[in-house]
Structure 1
Amino acid sequence: MMNLHQIVLGARVRTLALFVAPVAMGVAAAWHLLRAHGTASSGRTWLLAVLCLAVAAFLQIGANYANDYADGIRGTDAHRGGAGTVDPDDGHVPDYEELHAPVRLVASGVAPRAVLTAAAASAALACLCGLVATALTGHWWLLALGAICVAAGWCYVGGPHPYGYHGWGGIAAFVFFGPVATVGTTYVMSGTTDLFSWVGGVLAGLVALAMIGVNDIRDLDTDREAGKRTLAVRMGHTASLVCLTAMLAMVGVAMLAATIWLGVRGDDNPDIWWSFCAVVGMVAVELLGWFAVRAAWQGEHMRAMLLLSELALALAVSFAGFALAL
């Protein structure tokens, strides 16, 4: 069995912004759609929002445990114990990257069965929350989408043919942490979607893809040795960094364009508070994107990933501001 400290480490709390941001953006888009009908503040609406957040959280945590288990038993993490394996008595002074590297439980000696059990428990909780949300909405086809999400989390590096070992991990991150999370949340809460929710989903997906990109650049050499053909391994170090820069530039340009549009729109009764959130969030996205790109080019991968987590949250704040200022 794992202790509480190991459970928290295995959940990789620093990655959880990847699910918080797109779900929050989906909630904002749904609120925008529902507000005109006077149902945005109903108890049912808020309950569905909480359930969507819980589903995404447990899926993400379960996927983190499943990835730790699968990579651990395959030997991919053999030399990636992480921060928890740094020996303070060997005379070596760990740098920022070593201190903040994610701990791989199986590679650090935790029983694989315990990690697999944690993954299964998280997936079961996600399914339970999803079942409740489906029952409340009556959209039973959502169960099929939920099954696909669970399968995607496991098959990323688990099973006989993990797609994460063949360069599809980034695409999956874009899809499931982008349109699926954002547009799915909007649909569950409002029963419909709009262009606004789809744009938000694409932006959230680009940030998730950038996060996976930095992770794969960091592990490029060890992944190549382990036969894990990620996009970074296929493209090479420099090309991967160029793509990372381009993706974050697209997010930054989109948010700047949205701010300019909000300014020239000429609304006679703007919501000052949400407009303020939109602009401040946009500035944070621009600055965090710049620093994340610079950190990645300088080889400070863990710092870049932390900045991208903060960028995802800033994006959610800005997007919510745009949605609710209208």
Structure 2
Amino acid sequence: MSKIKAWLNAARLRTLPLSLSGIIVGTGLAGFYGYFNYSIFVLALLTTVGFQVTSNFANDYGDGVKGTDNEDRVGPKRALQSGILTKEELKLGIILSIVINIILVLLLVFLAFGIQNIGYIILFLGLGAASIWAAITYTVGTSAYGYRGLGDVYVFLFFGLIGVLGCLFLYAKFITTVSLLPAVTIGLLSVGVLNLNNLRDSLSDKKVGKNTLVVKMGFENGKKYHYVLLSLALLSMGGFIFMNYLNWISLIPLLGFVPISIHIRKVYITEQPRLLDPELKRLALSTFLLSVLFYFSFNIFS
């Protein structure tokens, strides 16, 4: 395998649509309130991709050195696990991606706020630093929070609340109470993707001491938790649509829950954790579809 393919493997491009969902919904909210800036949109997308790639590199490294990625692992082989990249190469990749992230964050905040809004700049630089920290420490280090069942909390915060509301604030310089609902929707669906990953890996994670929430609560309870996450996501999006209903076009985002309902049925009838692997892609792409439908429904068609 060439080095380019090796790095693309480590970057895990299939995870990127989910990470972009929050930016698309945040941009959709901003447009709904009458704000849009093409340069902010592009930089926000690039920054989010940067954070996700850093997280993927770090997860590959962290799980690899801890022995979590072994012959029991289900799903695509990781770069360190399969030997296509060394520990030293992955470390370098993490460092380089962090440098790129810092540059992107600086460009984004100065473009959005200008030098005169120093308070906002400091706030978003802090959020950027926290995002980089969260991306790395999920699996790296002796106190990696992903090994203590805290991954769900961080995913909800960074993919949902911070991702969506932070993006809205970049455009509009304000946040509304009702905008919490789409942010919660994306946060819950993102946690659902993580939970599905943990359901799939529950047996191998338990063997190596990776105490995810699913390992702590058990496979069957993890499935029930999954249903709750996705049901609350539907209620949150439905609440936003109800409070901002214009015409039937406002209902279009609910179409995103059609494949999600099919996904729930598949999870319900699946008894073997490894058979859940294909559902990761379905739920991630369904979340991305929902975000795109939300943007068009409350901007282009409204």
Tell me the TM-score normalized by structure 1.
Answer: 0.82
Which of 310, 314, 320 in structure 1 is aligned with 2:285?
Answer: 310
| % same residue | 24
Alignment RMSD (CA, Å): 2.1
Change (3 A) 1:187 1:261: closer
1:294 match? 265
Q: Compared with structure 1, are the counterparts of its residues 9 and 255 closer, same or farther at alpha carbon in structure 2 (3 Å cutoff)? A: same
Q: 1:204 aligns with which of 174, 186, 190?
A: 186
Cα distance, 1:313–1:224 mapped onto 2, change above 3 Å: same
Structure 1 residues 196 and 319: CA distance shift in structure 2, 3 A: farther
Q: Please report how far the alpha carbon of residue 261 of structure 1 lies from its aligned counterpart in structure 2 after TM superposition.
A: 6.1
1:319 aligns with 2:291: no
**How far apart are residue 254 of structure 1 and its match?**
3.8
Map Cα deviations across residues 106-136 of structure 1 (whole Å, 9 max, x no partner): 1111211112222222222121111011222
Deviation of 1:319 after TM superposition, in Å, equals 2.2
Give, in whole Å, the separation in 1 of the partners of 2:241 and 2:166. 25
Task: State the partner residue of 1:106.
Answer: 80
Change (3 A) 1:80 1:27: farther
In structure 2, what residue type is equivalent to 1:21?
A: S
- Name the counterpart of 2:254: 282
SS at match of 2:121: coil
Mapped contact 2:196–2:276 kept (Cα < 8 A): yes
State the 1:301 CA deviation.
1.5
* 2:143 aligned counterpart, secondary structure: coil
What residue in structure 2 maps to residue 89 of structure 1? none
Query: What one-letter code is carried by the residue in structure 2 that aligns with 1:140?
Result: I
Q: Whose Rg is larger?
A: 1
* Partner residue in 2 for 1:95: none
Secondary structure at the aligned position of 1:140 is classed as: helix
Q: Which residue type is aligned with residue 176 of structure 2?
A: D
Give the Cα–Cα distance (whole angstroms) in 2 for the partners of residues 257 and 148 of structure 1.
30
Please state which structure has a larger fraction of its residues in helix: 2
Q: Could you tell me whether the CA contact under 8 Å between 2:182 and 2:240 is conserved in 1?
A: no
Residues 8 and 252 of structure 1, relative CA distance in 2, 3 Å threshold:
same
**Is the 8 Å Cα contact of residues 23 and 185 (structure 1) preserved in structure 2?**
yes
**Aligned 8 A contact 1:106 1:112 in 2:** yes
Distance 1:50 1:197, change over 3 A: farther
After TM superposition, where is structure 1 displaced by more than 6 Å over at least 4 residues in a row?
A: none
**Is contact 1:48–1:189 with CA below 8 Å preserved after alignment?**
yes
Counterpart for residue 28 of structure 1: 28
Could you give the per-residue CA deviations for residues 209-231 of structure 1, whole angstroms, max 9, x where no partner exists?
Answer: 00000100111111111111100
2:67 to 75, 88, 99: 75
How many equivalent residue pairs? 289
Question: Does the CA-based 8 Å contact 2:165-2:180 persist in structure 1?
Answer: yes
CA shift digits 1:270-319 (9 cap, x unpaired): 6xxxx64x544422x22211222223231432221111112111220232
> Is residue 2:229 matched to residue 1:237?
no
Q: 1:167 to 1:143 in 2, by over 3 A?
A: same
Q: Match of 2:53?
A: 61
Residues in 2 aligned to 1:210 and 1:120: alpha-carbon distance in whole angstroms: 29
Task: Give the distance between the partners of 1:301 and 1:127, measured in 2 at CA.
Answer: 36
Post-superposition shift, 1:33? 2.1
Contact 2:181–2:236 (CA under 8 A) maintained in structure 1? no
Structure 1, 58-67 or 294-303: larger mean CA deviation: 294-303
* Equivalent position SS for 2:34: helix
Q: Tell me how far 1:323 sits from its aligned partner.
A: 3.0
Q: CA distance change for structure 1 residues 302 and 192 in 2, over 3 Å: closer, same or farther?
A: same
Cα pair distance change 1:75/1:251, threshold 3 Å:
same
Q: CA deviation at 1:258?
A: 5.2
State the partner residue of 1:7.
7
Letter in 2 for 1:171: V
Secondary structure at 1:194's aligned position in 2?
A: coil
Task: Specify which of 172, 196, 219 is matched with residue 214 of structure 1.
Answer: 196
The structural deviation recorded for 1:140 is 1.6
Q: Say yes or no: does 1:146 pair with 2:121.
A: no
Determine the C-alpha separation between the residues in 2 that align with 1:17 and 1:245. 22
Structure 1 residues without counterparts, runs of 5 or longer: 83-100
Conserved 8 A contact 1:259-1:279: yes
Which residue in the other structure is 2:205 paired with? Answer: 223
One-letter code aligned to 2:188: L
Bigger shift: 59-68 or 316-325? 316-325
Contact 1:15 1:309 in 2 (8 A): yes
Structure 2: stretches of 5+ with no match in the other structure: 115-119
Q: AA paired with 2:101?
A: A
Q: Label 1:167 to 1:145 Cα distance change in 2 as closer, same or farther (>3 A).
A: same
The CA distance in 2 between the partners of 1:80 and 1:68, in whole Å, is 15
